[in-house]
Structure 1
Amino acid sequence: MAEDILQPPAIKPLSGIKTWAKDDRPREKMLLKGPQALSNAELLAILINSGNRGKSALDLARELLADVEQQLVLLGRIPVKDFMKKKGIGSAKAITIAAALELGRRRQAGSLLDKPVIRTSRDAAAMLQPLLADLKHEVFAVLFLSRSNRVGHFEVLSNGGTTSTVVDTKIVLRKTLEHDAVSILLAHNHPSGSLQPSGADHHLTKKIASAAALLDIKVLDHIIVSHSGFFSFADEGLL
C-alpha cells in the first residue's frame, strides 16, 4: 500500500488586523519603523481603529482613499457627515478622521505663529491656503502687518455662503488700529475653485484701500485662494 502523503490544511485568509503578523499591523509597524514607513491607507486605518464584519480598518481606509482618487487634499474637504455615509464609519470614527485632518491643516499653517515676514504674494498664499482653501463657505480675512511686513495677527472678519460674504470696511479699519498694524493684506476664498475676481471683489478692494489710505494704512494686496491656486490683485496691477 502506497504511503499516504500528508497535505497541509487549507489556510483561511485572515482579514482582521489583529490576526496579521505583528510586523504587518499598522500600529505595531509604526512603533517599530516610524510613521514614515506607513502608507496613507495604513495611517488612516489607525484612525479608523476597527473594521466591521467582512472588512478591516485597512479595507475601509483604502475605500475612503479610493473615493478621493488617493488625494489627501480631497479627503480633507470631506465633511464629517459625509464620512459617516461610508458603511463601517460611524460618528466616532468620522470625528476622529476629521479632527486629525484639521490638526494637519493647523500644523501646516502653524508658521503664522512665528510671525513671518510677507515678501511676496506667494508668501501670503502659502500661509493662507491651508487656512482658507478647504472651507465650503466663503470667508473674508485679514493679515495685519508691521512696518517690516511681519505678520502680527490673522483674523477672519466675515463668514458668508458658498458664493459671497459681506465685509464691513469699518470693522477692517478698527481691527487694524487695534492691532497697531501699518499695513494689511486682504484675503478671501472661492469654494468653487475659481480664481477669477468678481466685480464685487474689485469694488470691495478699492473701497477698503481708499478708506485705509485716509488713516495712512496701506493695503498691500488682496489674495483670493482656492484649492487650485491663488490670485493676487497686486501682481495683476489691480491695487
Structure 2
Amino acid sequence: MTIKYLAEDDRPREKFLLKGKNSLSDSELLAIIMGSGSRDESALELARKIMTSVDNSWHQLSLLSNKDLMKFKGVGAVKAVSIIAALEIGKRRAVQEIPEKPIISNSKDAYFILKNQLSDLRTEEFWALFLNQSNKVIHISQLTQGGISQSVVDVRILFKTALDYFSTGIIIAHNHPSGSLKASKEDICITQKIKEAGALLSIQLLDHIIVTEDAYLSFSDEGLL
C-alpha cells in the first residue's frame, strides 16, 4: 500500500498542508524527506521502521552513515543522502541560533556553542573560538579534521586567523568520538604549544575543551592550562 491509497489524514504531505508542520510525527517528517518507500512498504512504514531502530532519536539517526541507512530495504543512495542532508540542515540551523557575539563567561558557555559542531562526529575535528577583550565570540572556525597532533594542528593558521580578527583570546576544542574525557599526551602537548605561542603574540589561550557525545572536559576547569 502506497501513501496515495492511505486515508488523507494519514498522508504526511496532505496532513502537513491541512494541519501544519507541528501535527506531524517524527516518522511522518522522515517519510516526507524520503519521498517514497519500497515495493513492499510505504514511505511512512519505512520511516517508522528506521525511527524505531534508533529509538525515535534524531540525534541517533544523525550518527548513521550512508551505508548504515542503505541497509534498510527501500533506502538507496539518493534517499540516504536526502536524510543526511536534512539532518545537516537542522544542525546548521541550531548553530545559527547562537546569539550574535555571545559572551563566554565559563567553560559551559563555550561547550554550548561547540557541541552542535562536535558532539556527534565519528572522526576528530579541531575548532577554535576567537574572542575580543570583552570575551565576546567574534569568529568560529574549523581548523582540521581527522585527528589531533602537533603535525595536524597548524599553529600558524590558528594565530593568523586570530590576528586577522584582532582576537585577544582563543578557546580551542576537539572531540573524542570514543567518548573518553581523558586528555591524551598529544592533547596536553598541543595545548602547551598553543599557549606558549599565544603568549608571544599577547593572545591568551583561555581554554581547551574536549567534547564527547553528551559531556565535555575543560582544561581550564581541571587546572591543565
TM-score interval, smaller chain = over 0.9
Equivalent residue letter for 1:193: G
1:179 corresponds to: 165
The alpha-carbon deviation at position 70 of structure 1 amounts to: 1.9
Q: Distance in 1 between matches of 2:99 and 2:67?
A: 31
1:19 corresponds to: 5
Q: Distance in 2 between matches of 1:34 and 1:59?
A: 21
Equivalent residue letter for 1:83: L
User: What is the SS of the residue equivalent to 2:59?
Assistant: helix
Instruction: List per-residue Cα deviations over 1:63-87 (Å, max 9, x = no partner).
Output: 1112222221110111223212221
Aligned: 1:140 with 2:140: no
User: What is the SS of the residue equivalent to 1:114?
Assistant: coil
Where structure 1 has 5 or more consecutive residues not aligned to the other structure, the ranges are 1-14
2:208 corresponds to: 222
Q: Is this contact kept in 2: 1:112–1:151, CA < 8 A?
A: no
Aligned: 1:152 with 2:138: yes
Aligned match for 1:47, one of 19, 26, 33: 33
Give the alignment of 1:26-41 within 5 angstroms: 26-41=12-27
Equivalent residue letter for 2:138: G
Larger Rg: 1
1:4 corresponds to: none
Aligned: 1:108 with 2:98: no
Q: Is this contact kept in 2: 1:135–1:191, CA < 8 A?
A: yes
Task: Tell me the percent identity.
Answer: 49
Give the alignment of 1:59-138 within 5 angstroms: 59-112=45-98, 114-138=100-124
Equivalent residue letter for 2:53: D
Q: Distance in 2 between matches of 1:107 and 1:34?
A: 20
CA RMSD of aligned residues (A): 1.5
The alpha-carbon deviation at position 42 of structure 1 amounts to: 0.9
1:207 corresponds to: 193
The alpha-carbon deviation at position 128 of structure 1 amounts to: 0.6
The alpha-carbon deviation at position 113 of structure 1 amounts to: 7.0
Q: Distance in 1 between matches of 2:223 and 2:178?
A: 24
Equivalent residue letter for 1:225: V
Instruction: List per-residue Cα deviations over 1:20-41 (Å, max 9, x = no partner).
Output: 1212211111122222211111
User: What is the SS of the residue equivalent to 2:38?
Assistant: coil
Distance 1:83 1:201, change over 3 A: same
Where structure 2 has 5 or more consecutive residues not aligned to the other structure, the ranges are none
1:12 corresponds to: none
Q: Distance in 1 between matches of 2:53 and 2:29?
A: 16
Equivalent residue letter for 1:108: A
| TM-score (structure 2 length as normaliser) | 0.93
Aligned: 1:56 with 2:46: no
| TM-score (structure 1 length as normaliser) | 0.88
The alpha-carbon deviation at position 187 of structure 1 amounts to: 0.5
User: What is the SS of the residue equivalent to 1:30?
Assistant: helix
Instruction: List per-residue Cα deviations over 1:101-136 (Å, max 9, x = no partner).
Output: 000100111135722222221111111111122222
